[in-house]
C-alpha cells in the first residue's frame, strides 16, 4: 500500500498493485504564509480559501478504481519508509472529523501477537499516523516520529503552544491513544466477531457484519461507518480486493495472545485468548456505575478462548460487565479520610424502579437475541448493610421480575403482544441465575492455577453442558458442536472476581468438550490457559480508566481535596482525563463531531447507467431445482429408497437437476449430558450417498456439495450441477436455535443465502415445535427464524426466491378416527380445511405471502416404523401433514411444478416430501457487461472528464450536491399544493366553462339535468348554454306557481 499527495487541488491517493482509493475534499484550505510556498500563487491566488464552506465541511469525494487508470507522475509519494521511519502503511482506519478538519487515519506499525487458526493473524497496533485531508496546515507532521513531533514544536513553521503534539495537532491525542499497544486488527476476517459467528475459513469483513451486537467492539466505527457503506456498493471483485489490501480496517481494544502447546509426537496446538472491550455505552465506558438507557454497561468485555490444531478448532465465549440498571456510587470524603474506602461509599439509585427495569431488560434482551440462553453469575455480596449488598439485592429483584414477566408472557404470548407490543415476548431465549458470593481472600488463595475449585464448578456444571461449545472437525469438514448460550458474569466493576470466574468456566468447558471427543488435555495446557487469563486481568485493569477529579463528591470544599490529593493523584488523574478525552474524540462524541458524507460520482453514475441498460447484458433462463424434506427418525436410509426419492418414477425419473436441496430432521439422536453431542458420521454418510446417487443417475453429470451444515439432529445439504457452479456466488449460512427457549439444538433452522448470477436465493430447513396443541409455539418458532439477518442486514424475504421446507409439525384439528376415515376416502380437501398451517397462512400469521402447491398426497405423519400403518402406539397420534415445502418469490419466478410424497419409503415414522421447481433466473453476460461499462465510461469522460480530471479540477462541488439540502417550497394553501410541479394551481380548471364575461348568455354551464352518478348513462349533454339554464329555471318557477 502506497500513499500519494496531490498538493493542489489537495487530493490523497491510496494505491496497491491493482486498485487505488482516491480521496478528495471539495473545499480544502491552504495556508497563505510565506513559509508555505508549495503552490504557484499567481495561478491559485483567486482560489485559495481560509476556511471551507460550511455546507462542504463534512463531505468527501471517494473513488475506487484500477490503478492503471491514474497518472501518478505529478503526485508526491508520501508513503512512510520502512528504512527511514520504521513505518509502512498496513491499513486504512477511516475519516476522523475533528475540530473542523477531516483526518485520514492509517496503521503504520504493528506486530503479530496471536494466531487463532492457521493463516489467521491478529496484529497489535504500535503506531498510527493521521493526514489532514482538507488543509495543508499540518503537513509539517507528515511522516515524523513521536520524538521528532515533540522536538518539532520549536520549529517556527509549527503553530500552537509547547504542550506537545496533543495540543498542536488536532488528532495528536488520538494518535497516542491508538499507539499505546492496546488496539488490535486483522486482515483475514472480521475482528469484531467470534469464530462461531463468522464460521471456519470465513472471509466475512466488518461491512458484512449483520449483528448490532458485534459492532459494539469496533472502536473506529465513527471513522469507518461511511467507508463500510461505500464498500458494500462495490462489485464482488472490487470488494474482494478492497478487503485484501486493508482499505477498510476495523480495530478492537482489549487483550489477545496465543501460546503454542506441544502434544505427544509432532502434533502441536495453539490456544488463543481474545478479549474485546465494548465502546457502545453512552457516557463513561469504565469504572463504577450502571447502564445507560439502552442497557449498555461499563466494563463490558467479551472474552473468547480458541484452541486449534490441524484436526479441529474449538471456541468458547464468556461475557462480563457491571450490574445492569441505573445506579451510581457516592464517595463521601472528610478531613479525617480523603482516601476512598468501603466505609465512605454509598449506593444511589437515581431513577425510578420502572425506568431502571426497562434498561435492565434491554441489556438481557440484547444478549439473549444474540447468544440464545443466558446464565448470570453474580459475584456481589449478600450483606444488605453494605453498598454492594444493596446493589446485589436490587439486581436480584430486577432479574426475578424479568424472568417472571417472560414466563407470564410465554403463557399467553399472542394476547400480550396485542395488548403491549412487547417485543421481548417474541424473543426465544431463557435467562437463569446463580449467586456466587466470592471473597477476595478466596480468589487470592486459589489464584490462577490449573486447579478448578469444585465449589464454583458444581452449581453451574449442568448449564455448562447445556450450552455446549463450538467444535469443528477439519477432517470431516463439519461442526460437531455449537455454543448455544453464554455465561454473563456480574461484579461491581467487573475486574478481578469476574475474570477469575470466567477462567474457571472456560477451563471446565475445555475439560468436558475434549473429554467427549476422547482427548485428554495435558497439565501444560491448563497451565498456559491459567496464565493467559492472569495476563488478561492485568491488561484489562490497566485499560479501565479511573474517574477524573471532577467526578469526586465531598461534603467539604473542593480546594481542601485538591490540596491533599495533588501530589499523590494529580498526575494519574491528568493522564486519565487525557486518555478519556482521546477516547471521546475517537468515538466521535464531542459536540462538534459529525460523521463524514462520502460521494463517489464515478461509481454512482456507472451503477445507475448499468441498471438502466441491464437488458443489454442480462438474459433470463430457466433452471430446475429439486427440494425434499425428510424426518428420518435417526435412521440412515437404504440407497434404493433414497434413489426413489431423488428420482420418483411417476414424475420424470430421467430428469436432470441444476440445484438439489435436501433438508433432513432427526438424523441422529441427541445424547444428554454431553458438551459435544453431534456425531457427524451420519451427516457425512448422507452427503456421500446422495452425491453418488445423483452422479450415478446421470452418467455425464457431476455434482458438487457446495454447502452443507448440521445442527443437532437437523441437517441441510445443497448440491449444484458442476455445469452451473460458475454462476454460484456469495454463499452464506446461518443457524437459529428455537428448542427449549433457544438454547437447544433439538429444534430450529438452518438457512443458506447465495446468488445464482444476478438472482438471490435463500434455502431454509426447519424443525418446529411438536405437539398437537402447540400452534402458538410453532408460530413463535417461525417468527424467530424469519428474523434471521444475513450480511448487510439482508432478511429472508428480501431474496428473489425462497424455498422453506422441513418438519413444521402443524397438525389437523379433527379427531384421530375422523382423520383416518377421511384419509381412506382420500378426501384431502376437507382435511385441509382443518390443517393448522393452512389456517395460519390464510390469516397471515405464519408464513405470510408464502405459496404452497395444492396437496394431493396423504398425511406424512405418524406411521409405525417399516409399515404403512398410521400410529398404533398408546398415544395414537393424529395423522397430519407435518412435512411441508413452501416458496416465496418476486414476480413469481419460482414455479412449483411437482409436489408429492414418496409413500413407499417406510423405514421412518414420517414420509418424505419432495418438490420440483422451475426458477426463472437472471443471468449476466460478463463480457457484454464489460463492453457496456466501457461505453458508459467513455461517454462519461467525454462529458465530465476522466478520473484524472477529478484530481486536477478546481471546482468539484457539483459532485457533492445534495438534493436533501435544497430549500423547501412554500407551504400548501387552498389554491396551491407544494407537490404540483411548476406552480400549478390546485383548483381544477375546465376549459369549456372558462369565460371572463359571466353575463354572456352563450356561456356554457354544467347541465343540472345530468345524473349525479357520473357512471350512469344519460342522453343529456354535460354542458348547456346559460340561456338554456335560465329558460329551464323559468319553466320550473311557472310550475310552482
Q: Which regions of 893-984 does DSSP assign to beta strands (E)? A: 894-901, 913-924
**pLDDT per residue over 385-444, tens digit each?**
788 888 899 999 999 999 988 877 766 554 544 444 444 344 568 899 999 888 888 888
Q: What is the mean pLDDT of residues 780-794?
A: 82
**pLDDT per residue over 868-881, tens digit each?**
999 999 888 999 99
**pLDDT per residue over 1002-1011, tens digit each?**
778 888 888 8
Q: Which has the higher per-residue pLDDT, 913 or 160?
A: 913
Residue 161's pLDDT is what? 40
User: pLDDT at residue 1038 above 70?
Assistant: no
User: pLDDT at residue 978 above 80?
Assistant: no
Q: Which of 122-131, 610-619, 931-940 has the lowest mean pLDDT?
A: 931-940
Q: Which of 11-15, 467-471, 679-683, 699-703 has the lowest mean pLDDT?
A: 679-683
pLDDT bucket at 270, cuts 50 / 70 / 90: very high
**pLDDT per residue over 320-330, tens digit each?**
999 999 998 88
Residue 711's pLDDT is what? 83
Q: Is the CB of residue 488 less than 8 Å from the CB of residue 375?
A: yes
Q: DSSP secondary structure string, 795-816?
A: BGGGSSEEEEEEE----BSS-H
Q: Which has the higher per-residue pLDDT, 678 or 776?
A: 776
Residue 1040's pLDDT is what? 60
Q: Which has the higher per-residue pLDDT, 963 or 281?
A: 281
pLDDT bucket at 971, cuts 50 / 70 / 90: low
Delimit the domains of the chain by residue range: 2-249+591-603, 256-397+430-544, 618-924, 981-1040
- Cell digits of residue 593: 463531531
**Which residues, in sequence order, are bridge partners of residue 889?**
801
User: pLDDT at residue 170 above 80?
Assistant: yes
Q: Which has the higher per-residue pLDDT, 619 or 547?
A: 619
CA distance 423 to 428: 11
C-alpha to C-alpha distances, 420 to 537, 780, 781, nearest whole angstrom: 43, 17, 20
- Cell digits of residue 644: 426413489
Secondary structure element (H or E) that encloses residue 3, with its range:
strand 2-6
CA distance 577 to 574: 5
Q: Is the CB of residue 778 less than 8 Å from the CB of residue 809?
A: yes
CA distance 95 to 33: 27
pLDDT bucket at 166, cuts 50 / 70 / 90: very low
User: Which among 105-114, 152-161, 334-343 has the top mean pLDDT?
Assistant: 105-114
Percentage with pLDDT > 70 across the chain: 79
Residue 916's pLDDT is what? 95
Residue 551's pLDDT is what? 40
Q: What is the mean pLDDT of residues 603-622?
A: 87
**pLDDT per residue over 276-327, tens digit each?**
999 999 888 988 888 998 899 999 999 999 999 888 899 999 999 999 999 9
Distance of CA 475 to the CA centre of its chain: 30
Q: Which has the higher per-residue pLDDT, 842 or 517?
A: 842
**pLDDT per residue over 456-492, tens digit each?**
899 999 999 988 898 888 887 777 788 889 999 988 7
Q: What is the mean pLDDT of residues 107-128?
A: 92
Q: Is the CB of residue 709 less than 8 Å from the CB of residue 749?
A: no
User: Which among 194-198, 354-358, 961-965, 981-985 has the top mean pLDDT?
Assistant: 354-358
Residue 958's pLDDT is what? 65
Q: Which of 139-148, 607-616, 910-919 has the lowest mean pLDDT?
A: 139-148
Exposed, middle or buried: residue 151 (CB in 10 Å: 0-12, 13-18, 19+)?
Answer: exposed
**Which residues, in sequence order, are bridge partners of residue 915?**
627, 899
Q: Which has the higher per-residue pLDDT, 157 or 61?
A: 61
Q: Which of 123-127, 220-224, 266-270, 726-730 has the lowest mean pLDDT?
A: 266-270
User: Which among 252-256, 787-791, 959-963 has the top mean pLDDT?
Assistant: 252-256
59-66 vs 597-599, strand pairing mode: parallel
Q: What is the mean pLDDT of residues 152-181?
A: 63
Residue 813's pLDDT is what? 93
- Cell digits of residue 620: 433470463
Q: Which has the higher per-residue pLDDT, 160 or 184?
A: 184
597-599 vs 373-378, strand pairing mode: unpaired
Residue 42's pLDDT is what? 35
User: pLDDT at residue 707 above 50?
Assistant: yes
Residue 547's pLDDT is what? 45
pTM score above 0.85: no
Q: Which has the higher per-residue pLDDT, 694 or 945?
A: 694
Cis, peptide link before residue 862, omega less than 30° from 0: yes
CA distance 26 to 957: 6
Residue 151's pLDDT is what? 43
Q: Which has the higher per-residue pLDDT, 58 or 158?
A: 58
**CATH 3.60.10.10 for domain 618-924:** yes
CA distance 456 to 439: 12
Using alpha carbons only, what angle is made at residue 767 by residues 681 and 838, rounded to the nearest 5 degrees?
150
Residue 54's pLDDT is what? 56
Residue 256's pLDDT is what? 96
- Cell digits of residue 699: 452418467
Mean per-residue pLDDT over the chain, rounded: 82
Q: What is the mean pLDDT of residues 72-100?
A: 88
Exposure pattern of 711-726 as b/e (b: 16+ CB <10 Å)?
bbbbbbbbbbbeebee
pLDDT bucket at 557, cuts 50 / 70 / 90: very low
First to last CA, the chain: 102
**Which residues, in sequence order, are bridge partners of residue 305?**
273, 316
User: pLDDT at residue 345 above 60?
Assistant: yes
C-alpha to C-alpha distances, 766 to 663, 734, 747, 755, 791, nearest whole angstrom: 8, 12, 8, 21, 20
Percentage with pLDDT > 90 across the chain: 38
**pLDDT per residue over 892-947, tens digit each?**
999 999 999 999 999 999 999 999 999 999 998 888 988 888 888 788 777 766 67
Secondary structure element (H or E) that encloses residue 1001, with its range:
none
Exposed, middle or buried: residue 202 (CB in 10 Å: 0-12, 13-18, 19+)?
Answer: middle
Query: Which phi-psi region, left, alpha or beta, contains residue 377 (left: φ > 0; alpha: ψ -120 to 50)?
Result: beta
Cell 490444531, residue located: 309
Task: Return the closest-CA partner of residue 275 out of 257, 254, 259.
Answer: 254
3-state SS assignment for residue 494:
coil
Residue 1008's pLDDT is what? 85
Residue 320 φ/ψ, nearest 5 degrees: -150, 165
Residue 160's pLDDT is what? 40
- Cell digits of residue 46: 483567486
Secondary structure element (H or E) that encloses residue 369, with its range:
helix 353-371
User: pLDDT at residue 578 above 80?
Assistant: no
User: pLDDT at residue 570 above 50?
Assistant: no
User: pLDDT at residue 655 above 90?
Assistant: no
Amino acid at each position: 500500500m502506497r500513499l500519494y499527495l496531490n498538493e493542489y487541488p489537495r487530493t490523497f491517493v491510496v494505491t496497491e498493485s491493482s486498485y487505488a482509493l482516491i480521496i478528495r475534499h471539495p473545499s480544502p484550505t491552504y495556508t497563505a504564509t510565506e513559509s508555505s510556498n508549495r503552490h504557484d500563487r499567481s495561478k491559485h491566488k483567486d482560489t485559495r480559501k481560509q476556511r471551507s464552506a460550511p455546507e462542504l465541511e463534512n463531505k468527501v469525494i471517494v473513488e475506487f478504481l484500477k490503478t492503471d487508470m491514474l497518472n501518478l507522475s505529478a503526485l508526491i509519494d508520501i508513503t512512510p519508509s520502512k528504512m527511514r521511519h520504521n513505518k509502512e502503511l498496513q491499513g486504512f482506519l477511516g475519516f476522523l472529523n475533528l475540530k473542523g478538519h477531516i483526518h485520514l487515519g492509517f496503521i503504520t506499525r504493528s506486530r503479530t501477537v496471536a494466531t487463532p487458526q492457521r493463516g489467521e493473524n491478529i496484529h497489535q497496533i504500535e503506531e498510527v499516523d493521521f493526514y489532514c485531508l482538507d488543509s495543508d496546515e499540518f503537513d509539517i507532521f507528515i511522516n515524523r516520529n513521536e520524538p521528532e513531533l515533540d522536538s518539532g514544536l520549536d520549529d517556527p513553521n509549527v503553530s500552537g503552544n509547547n504542550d506537545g503534539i496533543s495540543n498542536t495537532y488536532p488528532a495528536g491525542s488520538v494518535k497516542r491513544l491508538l499507539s499505546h499497544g492496546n488496539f488490535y486488527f486483522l486482515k483475514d476476517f472480521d475482528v469484531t466477531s467470534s469464530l462461531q459467528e463468522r464460521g471456519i475459513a470465513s472471509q466475512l469483513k466488518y461491512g458484512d457484519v449483520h449483528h448490532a451486537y458485534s459492532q459494539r467492539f469496533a472502536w473506529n466505527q465513527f471513522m469507518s461507518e461511511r467507508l463500510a457503506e461505500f464498500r458494500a456498493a462495490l462489485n464482488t471483485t472490487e470488494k474482494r480486493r478492497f478487503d485484501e489490501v486493508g482499505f477498510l480496517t476495523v480495530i478492537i481494544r482489549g487483550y489477545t495472545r496465543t501460546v503454542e502447546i506441544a502434544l505427544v509426537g509432532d502434533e502441536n496446538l495453539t490456544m488463543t485468548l481474545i478479549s474485546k472491550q465494548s465502546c457502545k455505552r453512552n457516557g463513561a465506558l469504565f469504572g463504577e456505575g450502571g447502564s445507560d438507557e439502552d442497557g449498555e454497561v461499563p466494563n463490558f468485555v467479551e472474552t473468547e478462548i480458541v484452541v486449534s490444531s490441524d484436526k479441529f478448532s474449538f471456541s468458547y465465549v464468556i461475557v462480563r460487565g457491571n450490574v445492569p440498571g441505573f445506579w451510581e456510587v457516592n464517595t463521601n470524603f472528610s478531613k479525617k479520610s480523603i482516601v476512598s474506602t468501603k466505609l465512605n461509599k454509598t449506593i444511589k439509585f437515581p431513577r425510578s424502579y420502572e425506568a431502571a427495569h426497562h434498561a435492565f431488560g434491554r441489556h438481557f434482551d440484547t444478549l439473549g437475541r444474540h447468544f440464545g440462553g443466558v446464565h448470570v453469575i453474580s459475584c456481589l455480596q449478600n450483606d444488605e448493610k453494605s453498598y454492594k449488598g444493596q446493589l446485589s439485592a436490587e439486581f436480584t429483584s430486577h432479574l426475578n421480575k424479568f424472568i417472571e414477566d417472560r414466563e407470564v408472557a410465554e403463557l399467553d404470548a399472542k394476547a400480550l403482544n396485542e395488548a403491549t407490543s412487547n417485543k421481548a415476548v417474541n424473543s426465544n431465549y431463557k435467562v437463569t441465575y446463580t449467586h456466587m458470593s466470592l471473597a477476595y481472600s478466596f480468589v487470592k488463595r486459589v489464584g490462577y492455577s490449573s486447579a478448578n475449585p469444585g465449589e464454583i464448578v458444581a452449581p453451574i456444571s449442568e448449564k455448562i453442558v447445556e450450552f455446549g461449545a463450538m467444535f469443528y472437525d477439519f477432517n470431516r469438514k463439519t461442526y460437531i458442536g455449537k455454543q448455544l448460550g453464554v455465561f454473563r458474569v456480574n461484579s461491581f466493576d467487573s475486574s478481578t472476581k469476574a475474570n477469575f470466574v470466567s477462567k474457571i468456566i472456560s477451563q471446565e468447558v475445555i475439560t468436558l468438550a475434549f473429554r467427549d471427543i476422547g482427548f485428554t488435555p495435558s497439565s501444560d495446557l491448563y497451565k498456559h490457559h491459567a496464565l493467559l487469563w492472569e495476563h488478561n486481568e492485568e491488561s484489562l485493569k490497566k485499560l479501565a480508566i479511573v474517574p477524573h477529579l471532577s467526578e469526586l463528591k465531598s461534603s467539604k470544599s473542593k480546594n481542601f481535596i485538591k490540596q491533599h490529593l495533588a501530589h499523590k493523584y494529580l498526575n494519574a488523574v491528568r493522564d486519565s482525563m487525557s486518555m478519556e478525552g482521546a477516547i471521546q474524540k475517537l468515538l466521535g462524541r464531542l459536540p462538534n463531531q459529525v460523521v463524514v458524507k462520502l460521494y463517489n460520482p464515478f461509481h454512482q453514475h456507472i451503477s445507475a447507467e448499468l441498471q438502466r441498460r441491464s437488458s443489454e447484458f442480462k438474459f433470463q433462463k430457466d433452471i430446475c431445482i429439486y427440494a425434499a424434506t425428510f424426518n428420518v427418525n435417526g435412521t440412515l436410509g437404504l440407497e434404493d429408497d433414497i434413489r426413489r426419492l431423488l428420482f420418483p418414477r411417476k414424475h420424470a425419473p430421467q430428469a436432470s437437476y441444476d440445484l438439489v436441496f435436501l433438508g433432513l430432521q432427526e438424523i441422529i439422536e441427541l445424547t444428554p449430558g454431553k458438551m459435544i453431542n453431534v456425531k457427524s458420521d451420519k451427516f457425512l454418510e448422507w452427503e456421500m450417498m446422495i452425491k453418488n446417487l445423483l452422479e450415478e443417475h446421470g452418467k455425464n453429470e457431476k455434482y458438487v456439495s457446495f454447502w452443507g451444515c448440521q445442527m443437532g439432529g437437523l441437517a441441510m445439504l445443497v448440491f449444484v450441477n458442476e455445469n452451473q457452479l460458475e454462476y454460484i456466488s456469495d454463499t452464506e449460512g446461518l443457524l437459529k436455535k428455537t428448542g427449549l427457549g433457544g438454547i437447544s439444538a433439538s429444534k430450529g433452522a438452518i438457512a443458506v443465502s447465495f446468488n445464482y448470477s444476478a438472482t438471490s436465493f435463500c434455502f431454509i430447513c426447519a424443525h418446529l415445535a411438536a405437539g398437537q396443541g402447540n400452534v402458538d409455539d410453532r408460530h413463535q418458532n417461525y417468527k424467530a427464524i424469519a428474523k434471521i439477518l444475513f450480511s448487510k442486514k439482508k432478511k429472508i424475504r428480501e431474496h428473489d426466491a425462497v424455498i422453506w421446507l422441513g418438519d413444521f409439525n402443524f397438525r389437523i384439528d379433527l379427531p384421530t378416527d375422523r382423520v383416518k376415515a377421511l384419509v381412506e376416502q382420500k378426501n384431502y380437501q376437507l382435511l385441509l380445511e382443518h390443517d393448522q398451517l393452512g389456517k395460519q397462512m390464510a390469516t397471515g400469521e405464519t408464513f405470510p405471502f408464502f405459496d404452497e402447491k395444492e396437496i394431493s398426497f396423504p398425511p406424512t405423519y405418524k406411521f409405525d416404523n417399516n409399515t404403512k400403518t398410521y400410529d398404533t402406539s398408546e398415544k395414537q397420534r393424529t395423522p397430519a401433514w407435518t412435512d411441508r415445502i413452501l416458496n416465496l418469490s418476486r414476480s413469481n419466478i419460482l414455479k412449483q411444478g411437482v409436489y408429492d410424497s414418496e409413500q413407499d419409503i417406510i423405514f421412518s415414522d414420517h414420509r418424505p416430501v419432495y418438490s420440483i421447481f422451475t426458477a426463472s433466473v437472471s443471468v449476466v453476460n460478463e463480457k457484454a457487461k464489460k463492453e457496456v461499462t466501457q461505453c458508459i465510461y467513455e461517454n462519461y469522460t467525454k462529458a465530465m472528464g476522466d478520473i484524472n480530471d477529478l484530481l486536477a479540477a478546481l471546482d468539484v462541488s457539483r459532485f457533492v450536491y445534495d438534493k436533501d439540502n435544497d430549500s423547501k417550497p412554500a407551504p400548501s394553501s387552498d389554491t396551491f399544493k407544494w407537490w404540483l410541479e411548476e406552480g400549478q394551481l390546485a383548483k381544477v380548471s375546465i376549459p369549456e366553462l372558462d369565460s371572463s364575461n359571466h353575463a354572456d348568455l352563450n356561456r356554457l354551464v354544467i347541465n343540472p339535468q345530468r345524473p349525479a352518478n357520473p357512471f350512469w348513462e344519460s342522453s343529456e349533454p354535460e354542458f348547456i348554454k346559460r340561456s338554456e339554464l335560465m329558460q329551464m329555471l323559468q319553466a320550473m318557477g311557472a310550475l310552482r306557481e
